[in-house]
């Protein structure tokens, strides 16, 4: 068997100093907040994998079931000769199903976590020796300046953004994000996007407040990471995890709640917390099918097709650059 060509690796991650600057700026806001991309250090990736296996956390297994049922239809909707660009390559099982159906000449993986990139590209490139692999380590919450890509056999570009990670953006940010990708995808470009649906708030609540406390540990791991990597002195016992659904905003919000009045030091900066004051750590926006189609239209895409599970928990949308 011919061995696959090695994955071409590009590291576009900004200097570690940027995390310090962003965290300091976020904690200086009147309503303290930290971007959710910082969840994913090695321990955070492990905890997120554990979340994906929780009985309460329906999105991962539901999206996988949708891919099992509809990957061939998705491949047909995207069209032949795709350079498939996946952002946020988490669980490579969904990707494997899409690659089997699509047989793309080129696969480009974009993620902030080197561990995730290496694990998924290594596993996938062994399985798909006909596909070229490019890994790009980058913060995809900003438009990613893609390196020049091999063009052999490529008829169009297609973005794959599974996992409802787009829910981390507010609707305005999601629209701007999709607009930013439009010129990268170009004429004839397409996108396949996993989106968590609006549903019974009790189901949402349980998914982000699991009985085993894995989500709480995932949330608190942010503080452990800042202690380790930024020399902060967060007392992890003095903060608790909170997650709730806001029906008005259509989103789950995660926060870390200060259990008492306290001060936290990072380098020469001191941050005061009141008892009950929170750090907002994540939004997870939920969209009805028509809501997401309207958002895509506002960003200059035509919503071509959408697949859901029988319980209508989760949706995968296929968009085309309009
Ligand atoms: C990876 C952003 C899709 O919003 O459900 C899971 C992250 N946070 N449990 C989500 C997450 C808490 C997840 N996304």
Residue with tokens 């900003």: 142
Residue 148 has pLDDT above 70, yes or no: yes
Strands 269-273 vs 262-266: parallel, antiparallel or unpaired? antiparallel
Q: Note the pTM of the prediction, 2 decimals.
A: 0.94
Phi, psi angles (nearest 5°) of residue 197: -85, 155
The whole-number average pLDDT for the span 70-99 is 92
- Provide the pLDDT for residue 91: 61
Which of 165, 172, 192, 173 is CA-nearest to residue 320?
192
CA of 267 to the centre of ligand 1 (A): 30
Tell me the percentage of the chain whose pLDDT exceeds 70.
96
- Provide the pLDDT for residue 2: 54
- Provide the pLDDT for residue 154: 94
Our CA dihedral for 268, 269, 273, 277, rounded to 10 degrees, sits at -140
CA of 188 to the centre of ligand 1 (A): 30
CA of 142 to the centre of ligand 1 (A): 19
Any idea what the Cα angle at residue 153 is, between residues 150 and 159, rounded to 5°? 70
Residue 115 has pLDDT above 80, yes or no: no
The whole-number average pLDDT for the span 126-137 is 93
Q: Looking at per-residue confidence, does 146 or 29 come out higher? A: 29
- Tell me how crowded residue 16 is: count the other CB atoms within 10 A of its CB: 9
- Provide the pLDDT for residue 16: 60
CA of 92 to the centre of ligand 1 (A): 16
Q: Which residues are near ligand 1 (CB < 6 Å)?
A: 51, 59, 163-165, 167-168, 208, 215, 282, 284
The closest-lying atom of ligand 1 relative to the alpha carbon of residue 168 is 2
- Provide the pLDDT for residue 15: 63
Q: What is the mean pLDDT of the chain?
A: 93
User: What pLDDT, in 10s, does the model give residues 269-289?
Assistant: 999 999 999 999 999 999 999
Which of 206, 192, 160, 182 is CA-nearest to residue 292?
192
Tell me the percentage of the chain whose pLDDT exceeds 90.
82
Are the CB atoms for 159 and 181 separated by under 8 Å?
A: yes
Burial 226-255 (b: 16+ CB within 10 A, else e): bbeebebebeeebbebbbebeeeebbbbbb
The whole-number average pLDDT for the span 224-234 is 97
- By the 10 Å C-beta count (0-12 exposed, 13-18 middle, 19+ buried), 275 is classed as exposed
Q: Looking at per-residue confidence, does 289 or 14 come out higher? A: 289
- Provide the pLDDT for residue 48: 94
- Provide the pLDDT for residue 95: 94
Q: In the structure, what pLDDT confidence band is assigned to residue 14 with cuts at 50, 70 and 90?
A: low
The residue nearest atom 1 of ligand 1, judged by CA position, is 165
3-state helix, strand, coil in the chain (%, to 5): 40, 25, 35
């Amino acid at each position: 068997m011919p061995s696959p060509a090695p994955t071409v690796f590009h590291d576009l991650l900004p200097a570690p100093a940027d995390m310090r600057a962003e965290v300091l700026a976020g904690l200086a806001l009147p309503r303290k907040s930290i971007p959710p991309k910082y969840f994913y250090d090695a321990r955070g990736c492990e905890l997120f994998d554990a979340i994906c296996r929780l009985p309460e956390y329906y999105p991962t297994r539901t999206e996988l079931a949708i891919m099992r049922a509809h990957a061939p239809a998705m491949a047909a909707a995207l069209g032949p000769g795709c350079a498939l660009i996946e952002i946020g390559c988490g669980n490579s099982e969904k990707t494997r199903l899409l690659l089997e159906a699509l047989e793309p000449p080129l696969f480009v993986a974009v993620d902030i976590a080197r561990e995730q990139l290496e694990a998924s590209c290594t596993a996938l490139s062994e399985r798909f020796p006909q596909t070229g692999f490019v890994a790009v380590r980058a913060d995809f919450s900003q438009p990613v300046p893609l390196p020049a890509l091999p063009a052999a056999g490529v008829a169009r570009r297609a973005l794959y953004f599974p996992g409802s990670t787009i829910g981390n953006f507010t609707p305005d940010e999601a629209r701007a994000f999709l607009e930013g990708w439009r010129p990268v995808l170009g004429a004839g470009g397409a996108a396949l996007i996993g989106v968590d649906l609006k549903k019974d708030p009790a189901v949402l609540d349980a998914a982000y407040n699991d009985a085993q406390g894995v989500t709480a540990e995932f949330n608190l791991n942010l503080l452990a990471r800042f202690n380790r990597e930024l020399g902060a002195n967060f007392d992890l016992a003095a903060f608790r995890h909170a997650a709730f659904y806001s029906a008005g905003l259509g989103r789950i919000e995660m926060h870390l709640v200060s259990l008492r009045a306290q001060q936290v030091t990072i380098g020469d900066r001191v941050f005061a917390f009141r008892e009950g004051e929170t750090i907002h750590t994540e939004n997870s926006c939920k969209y009805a099918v028509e809501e997401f189609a309207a958002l895509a239209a506002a960003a200059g895409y035509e919503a071509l097709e959408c697949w859901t599970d029988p319980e209508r928990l989760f949706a995968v949308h296929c968009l085309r650059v309009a």
